[in-house]
Amino acid sequence: MMEDLAMHILEILMNSIKAGAKLITLKIRDSFNDDVIAFSIEDDGKGMDEEMVKKAADPFTTSRTTRRIGMGLAFMKGLAETCGGSFAIDSTVGKGTLVQASVQKLNIDTPDLGNLGEMMMESIQSDENIDYVLEYETDYGQFVFDTRVIKEELAGVSLLEPEILIWIKEYINQGIEQAKEDTRQ
């Protein structure tokens, strides 16, 4: 189930959705030069207090009665530790949550990045009223995707039209591939 980084990130996106976020910003830096894949997920949801933040990444205190998030953060923390990276949560009640994590790009335990287009499509499909900004950056280029721009272009037509969902998936994957291309050649 958690075979690639996209699935780990999707779990965190689902936390943001459950926290009532209206805007979720996902930034990914994918760099050979620095041997790092770093990502941050920032939302404007209801946030967590200090005690909850402490518990959030601990799988053994996970209980649906004490907090309404799953194992996503615990898994991501474990992944970051296994793959020579870092993990941090910063949250303010009423303002939102910022989750930052990184892994070594060339670490043997680091999974594939996975299908980010599909990940975004699934997340968008679960609630089209939430807006997303995706920023993907490599050593050579950058790709930015913003659902607010898409919605403006569509002027009232739903993002949930299947043709549009597929277009979103393909557009994101195409943009990411382009950002990966070494333009120095």
Binding region for other proteins (CB under 8 A): 1, 70, 118, 121-122, 125-126, 149-150, 153-155, 157-158, 160-167, 170-171, 174
Closest approach, Cβ 88 to other proteins, in A, equals: 25
Place of tokens 């830096």: 29
Q: Where are the beta strands (DSSP E) in the chain?
A: 23-31, 36-43, 87-92, 96-103, 131-138, 142-146
Closest approach, Cβ 169 to other proteins, in A, equals: 9
Place of tokens 């967590």: 48
Closest approach, Cβ 85 to other proteins, in A, equals: 25
C-alpha to C-alpha distance for 82 and 53, rounded to whole angstroms: 21
- Tell me how far the alpha carbon of residue 13 is from its chain's centroid: 6
Closer to other proteins by CB, 80 or 165: give it: 165
Closer to other proteins by CB, 61 or 174: give it: 174
Closer to other proteins by CB, 14 or 23: give it: 14
Residue 51 tokens read as 């005690």
